[in-house]
């Protein structure tokens, strides 16, 4: 295997900045705090907020580009605008969402970005004081947060059912050894999705892998997953 030093960088996954000099022949690889891989931003602190904020920013840029020319154009039908929403706005917003660890802040920001586009499609503004759930019902659009959570739990089912030896399944089941740093531990994706299944489906963490391991049962539960209560 040949390593291209012009295309390679080094990054240490640690809360504190740690210097790590990796040398390839006579060249030292530059050390970075973040890098993109397959369109996803990874940071040395292993935080997801930066990536989620970047996704929201990408979707907002799409909306700004389309706003004057397409989204509010009266000659364009509502059906066409919704097709644009699904094909051009949603993909950059939700790319890589299966591995997100969502907080109340990120849920609120994702919903705000979603409703900003849908209100324009419906010809409304915040001053009209129409609830988000009413706008989605009128447009026939499923909540984006519901779609994200369903997809995350569907990916959980795939991980649980993976045979031994598959790398994603091995990473999911792994238990890192060693001492953790002081302070509140970061929420692992496994802990996040376990809590999500408990809150949204009522499945206790100790029964989660058994239930998710049954494909038909798991799929039927996800199809019946209700939307979260609408805060506004």
Residue 90's closest CA among 56, 124, 131?
56
What does the pLDDT look like over 78-123, one tens digit per residue? Answer: 888 888 889 888 999 999 999 899 888 899 999 999 998 899 888 8
pLDDT at residue 184 in the model: 72
For 154, list phi and psi in degrees, rounded to 5.
Answer: -65, -40
- Comparing 57-61, 74-78, 156-160, 196-200, which segment has the lowest mean pLDDT? 74-78
| 21/57: higher pLDDT | 57
3-state secondary structure of 180: coil
3-state secondary structure of 41: strand
Average pLDDT over residues 47-51: 83
Take residue 33 and report the two structure tokens written for it: 């705090």
Other Cβ atoms less than 10 A from the Cβ of 214: the count is: 14
Domain ranges across the chain: 5-42, 47-141, 149-174+188-224
**Whose structure tokens read 């990916």?**
155
């Amino acid at each position: 295997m040949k390593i291209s030093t012009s295309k390679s960088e080094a990054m240490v996954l640690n809360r504190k900045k740690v210097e790590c000099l990796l040398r390839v022949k006579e060249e030292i690889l530059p050390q970075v705090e973040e890098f993109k891989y397959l369109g996803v931003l990874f940071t040395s602190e292993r935080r997801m907020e930066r990536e989620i904020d970047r996704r929201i920013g990408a979707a907002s840029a799409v909306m700004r580009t389309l706003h004057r020319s397409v989204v509010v154009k009266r000659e364009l039908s509502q059906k066409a605008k919704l097709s644009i929403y699904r094909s051009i706005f949603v993909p950059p917003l939700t790319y890589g969402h299966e591995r997100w660890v969502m907080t109340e802040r990120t849920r609120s920001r994702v919903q705000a970005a979603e409703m900003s586009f849908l209100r324009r499609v419906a010809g409304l503004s915040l001053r009209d004081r129409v609830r988000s759930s009413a706008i989605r019902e009128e447009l026939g659009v499923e909540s984006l947060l519901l779609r994200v959570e369903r997809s995350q739990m569907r990916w959980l089912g795939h991980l649980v059912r993976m045979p031994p030896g598959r790398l994603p399944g091995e990473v999911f089941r792994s238990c890192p050894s060693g001492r953790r740093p002081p302070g509140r531990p970061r929420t692992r994706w496994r802990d996040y999705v376990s809590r999500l299944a408990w809150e949204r489906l009522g499945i206790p963490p100790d029964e989660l892998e058994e239930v998710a391991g049954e494909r038909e049962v798991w799929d039927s539960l996800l199809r019946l997953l209700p939307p979260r209560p609408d805060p506004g």
